[in-house]
Structure 1
Amino acid sequence: MTNDEHAHPYVGMWVTADGHIRQELLRNGRYDEARGERESAYTGRYQVTGDHIDYWDDTGFTADGEFDGDVLHHGGYLFYREGSQAHEAAR
């Protein structure tokens, strides 16, 4: 699979307003999520279809979410594209 097959507008870093959870959507279809001081707390693969994201964690659990512009609704949290106006407004 080439990197271009995973190209979509949501690749990059997504963070909660307080910065405690940081989730990076990598171009190769993998994600890496840090929580607090714990780097790579969760890792796995993901797939974006339109504005919907599905996650398959390396430990076996699954999750999903929805993008609304620069805001990601996932797991009861709001994530903001790092550096976006939405992120700055939420902080």
Structure 2
Amino acid sequence: MTSQTTPSPAACKRRKPTRRGLLSLGLLALGTALAAPHRAHARSSKESDMTTHPYLGMWVTGDGHVRHQLLPNGRYDEARGSRESAYRGRYVIEGNHIEYVDDTGFTADGDFIDGVLHHGGMVLRRVAPTGTR
């Protein structure tokens, strides 16, 4: 009967990396490097599409308490009452659906229906920019 012992932590630290471990690490790094330009390109083309998107601008609840500013760079700034920039984060619009991810990681979504944004039980209407009609 052979007994197997677990190496000490110090012994584990002294081990040389195996070929398999190095190969796996190399493939992981290569895959990440190859995927990164594609993701960056996809992001930049989406951002350029957002510069003229019809849903950009300020969206406000009827009582003016909640205000969402959808910015052309894919970011949003939400004010609540007298608290400006209460929440900030990024958003993605696909068709008439919007997905929000705030800077803390909280997610939410909404839908644009007949020119109105329905989000989290609220109804927000777009406010025309100052100086335009």
Instruction: Using the TM superposition, name which of 39-48 and 2-11 deviates more.
Output: 2-11
CA distance in 1, matches of 2:54, 2:113: 12
What do residues 37-57 of structure 1 show as CA deviations (whole Å, max 9, x unaligned)?
000000000000000000001
Q: TM-score, normalised by structure 1?
A: 0.85
Q: Select the residue among 61, 69, 83 that pairs with 1:16.
A: 61
CA distance in 2, matches of 1:67, 1:53: 8
Aligned residues: 83
Q: Percent identity?
A: 63
Q: TM-score, normalised by structure 2?
A: 0.59
Between Structure 1 and Structure 2, whose CA radius of gyration is higher?
Answer: 2
- The answer for the alignment partner of 1:34 in structure 2 is 79
- Report 1 or 2 for greater relative contact order, CA contacts < 8 Å, sequence distance ≥ 6: 1
Matched, 1:81 2:126: yes
Matched, 1:64 2:97: no
CA distance in 2, matches of 1:40, 1:69: 27
SS of residue paired to 2:104: coil
Residue identity in the other structure for 2:63: D
Greater helix content = 2
- The answer for the alignment partner of 1:4 in structure 2 is 48
Runs of 4 or more above 6 Å deviation: none
Unaligned stretches of 5+ in structure 1?
84-91
